[in-house]
Amino acid sequence: MPHLNIEYSDNLSALDTGALLLAMNQALLACGQFEERDIKSRAQKMDAFLIGVSLAQRAFVHAKLSILDGRTPAIRQDLAACLLQVLQQQCWPGGIEVQLCVEVLEIERASYAKACIEC
């Protein structure tokens, strides 16, 4: 824990997902809430999407951070703000409106199981 899932529209073809995931993981580590080896992130390009009803050029990036419950609303808000700042610092294409969103979700500890296997 945490798990960071990033969904983005496929019209952001120049998005360097490897660099973005590294920057997001570094930001999460700097927040002091997580152990480095526990931070897991992934990015998924969404081929089918629609933003509103206009024919305007629009794109999105939606980051969902899942964490175990028990952190205060202030900590969750800080995590969201930190990740949003990283997203805002990326190079986005001109001529297109890009909507950036971060959502922090809590997972009930009682319903989460984890095992680490070393071979």
Where do we find the tokens 């001529």? 95
What DSSP letter does each residue of 49-107 carry, written as one string?
---SS--S-EEEEEEEEEEES---HHHHHHHHHHHHHHHHTS---TTSEEEEEEEEEEE
**Any domain includes 116:** no
Q: In whole numbers, what is the pLDDT of the chain averaged over residues?
A: 95
The count of domains in the chain is 1
Residue 17 lies in a domain: yes
Give the residue-averaged pLDDT of 58-87: 97
- What is the mean predicted confidence (pLDDT) over 92-99? 91
Quick one: what percent of the chain has pLDDT higher than 70? 99
Q: Is residue 118 part of a domain?
A: no
The answer to the question of residue 16 being in a domain is yes
- What residue has token string 């152990």? 35
Evaluate whether residue 119 is within a structural domain.
Answer: no
How does pLDDT run across 29-68, given as a tens digit for each residue?
Answer: 999 999 999 999 999 999 999 999 998 899 999 999 999 9
Question: Is residue 26 in some structural domain?
Answer: yes
pLDDT at residue 119 greater than cutoff 80: no
CATH number of the domain where residue 68 is located: 3.30.429.10
Residue 16 has pLDDT above 70, yes or no: yes
Range of the domain at 61: 3-111
